Structure 1
Amino acid sequence: MWKKVVSCAAAGFLLASAPLPSALGGNAREAHAAANFNDVSSSFWASKEINFLHSKGIIEGYDNGSFLPNNKVTRAQAAKMILSALGEKEPTVSSDVFSDVKKNHWAAGWISLAKQKGIISGYEDGTFKPEETLTRAQMSKLLVRTFEQEYDLSVKDDTVEPFSDVWINQEFHPYVSKLYQHGITTGTDSTHYSPYNSVNRAQFSVFLSRTIEPSYRISSAESGDSSTIPPATTSTYGIVKTDSLNMRSGPSTSSGVVASLKRGTKVDYLGDQQGYWVKVRYNGQTGYVHKLYLKLKNEQGSSVANRVIVLDAGHGGKDPGASGNGVVEKELVLDVAQRVQTKLEAAGATVIMTRTDAATYPELKDRTDLAQSKYADMFVSVHANSAPSAPSANGSEVYYDTSQNVNGSESSILAKEIQEQFVSLVGMNDRGTKDNDFYVVRNTDMPSVLVELGFLTNSEDAAKFKSDYYRNLFAEAIYLGIKNYYNL
């Protein structure tokens, strides 16, 4: 069911209701060569597909002659476009379709029809969220479920994993796999599908055109798609992240200084790690620098490959943490942390967990000592908030420390990246990032953050915590925040 599948201007995605023939005569690529919209030139990457759908009466533009290809597609708009492609006409409705889709909503008829046909369904709380942005994952499911039989989207093996960010156990994996194998999607790059990214009007037009007209499809060989995880072995370099860093002849502060490196200096990473000391090359000279003052980055492949990341699921064992609305913190944060672990390891990172079960309770010092002893590149502690006296308090926030952590400024950047994902991807209320000397972030020296997913005592936040779908989104947000940090 399309529960958690598909935000922009409401009725802006104008769609005609003319039926689409199941077999399209002639060469579809020549169906409408001239540009129909004043903001879609003939050289625009999706112009042929946009004009093809327009020539078949499936889409229309705005009154001013524009198409606005970069506008995001909403759930309501997607329902209308899909049904238009099926040749349906909007029915009249006499009652509300969902609690948030009243009978006078501009797309009430389309949403009602899509619901009747089993193409979509609402959320567990009885809403449809018509203005919520459609994601690439949701789009893949919608297209396959709607058109699989008519356009034969079956495959011999839907366990094929063409992208490193779409795993075999994810709900939408078989849909993405089918679109990939039929040349409908080539990913956002050769190894990533970016399932939680929003879909814009141009992208949706391309996906729909490739689905209903095979001549628009492309092979994975043409697109350079890869069916493997980004390589764990990459060409790595380092960026100095302190005002002055001595490069020494050996892995010790007692070794002579070979060069003095300024903030932002790029050095070649040569490995040979000895404790926190790593071998680098700069200006033809080789030497050792302390890894804590170096941000390691990969030239190619996954940005997190070979990074050592400690994930700390808060509380545990004798300490259940907070609880509310039937959710216990120690169990929630362990589940989310383990999902983050799966995502990071799939992308080539080395992940160390401070605890792996609900019965274990590491002391705070044990957690930070573990990160230090493993010479970790990053430390992320996962928690959930509670405010019994203020049940309306909600939203996520991320903490970092600048009082003692030598990577306080880097920690603040990491916190910002993760918080942005909580807000944009999970739809959490933005409580911001905050400088606070919590034990686990002040007693670690690598970039370290403590995330508060939301409030167990808030009914809306707790509803997300109870949802497998949203737990995965929380994990995806943390993963993407880490990934984006390394891409900066």
Structure 2
Amino acid sequence: MKKIPLICIAALLLITAPNIGYAENEDDYSGDERVNRTSFIDVPGDYWSADSIELMRTKEIFNGYDDGTFKPLNDVTWMQTIITAVRMLDLEDRAFAVDPSVSINMPGAGSYFYSDRNDWAKGYVAVALEEGIVKENEYVGGNASAERMWVTKVLVRALNLEREALSTNESTTFTDDSEIIEEERGYAAVANKYGIVTGKKDGSFQPDAHITRAQMATVMDRAHQKYTEWNDPENAFTTNILSKDAGALVDKVIKTGESYQGAPYLFGADPGQTEEFDCSSFTKRIFEEHGIELPRVSRNQIEAGLPVPELYLTRGDLVFFDTDVDGIINHVAIYINENSLLHATRTLGVNYTEYTSYWRNAFVGAVRVVEDE
């Protein structure tokens, strides 16, 4: 991967050196220890985030300074956040190809890019805009310190989880939930759900707090692991339900479901019989016929498999909805493709329906319960 010229790095990273100390991280970090050394003179091997810092350096996602330091206690900046997100998505070459004369239509862009100043950074911002990582109505923070909530939103968008975040309306479990803007709670909830940006030791989220470079290396490490897992066939989803031919097993489950088409809907139907079904007795029954045990109700079935972002849904995944918009899962269906669901509904009983905006707007989450060995 290409690197930014030294003069550009200096312009980007020139911030006051911290009074280096090695206090324990305030975030709940539970990553596996993968790297046993560090290349930076101010990050000892036993530093709490040394593994993530070194791994992000080797992946060329988050670099240090020319003097051999990383400055782990310095705040990460707005621009550094954009650059690391673009690099995580392996889009840096595209950023380098952007014409520096391009206009960036965001508040604050005129000041940050005034008179050709910081033109080297335009490519990163332009790509971030194109990919939806930042929005045109957001302020160009440049070298200002980035806040935890804004970093969270950037990473959620980079991982294509924004739709799920925007459809998550309930309160978070953070102790300072009341301090999180209502429209942003979904981002915090989704980031926490996937283990990307978690709470502080006291259970708070602190949306307006700054995030240090050490903390940024940690959350970028987590985000990169998710991005790799969800995009690399060699790191496909795994669950406790393994099959030598998952696709064939899913086909059998769906064929069994089709055999019950036309069965009427009955709330609370016994999954031990096949004359009537409700949504979760239907999914429980057809998977059970192929040796896959599921909980009885939809709000528990969502815990039965591996969470799958909506963008990565595939045939046979279980998709869950909150049609009452009250924060409680009240429906489950089998995902067939981007246009079709197989499920038991009150109006049609067991049948195929279109995956319309009604369902998309009520989407809460999805799980995969069958995976190749």
Q: TM-score of the superposition, structure 1-length normalised?
A: 0.35
Say which structure is richer in helix.
Answer: 2
Say which structure is richer in strand.
Answer: 1
Instruction: Report the structure number with the largest CA radius of gyration.
Output: 1
Structure possessing the higher relative contact order (Cα contacts under 8 Å, 6 or more residues apart): 2
Q: TM-score of the superposition, structure 2-length normalised?
A: 0.46
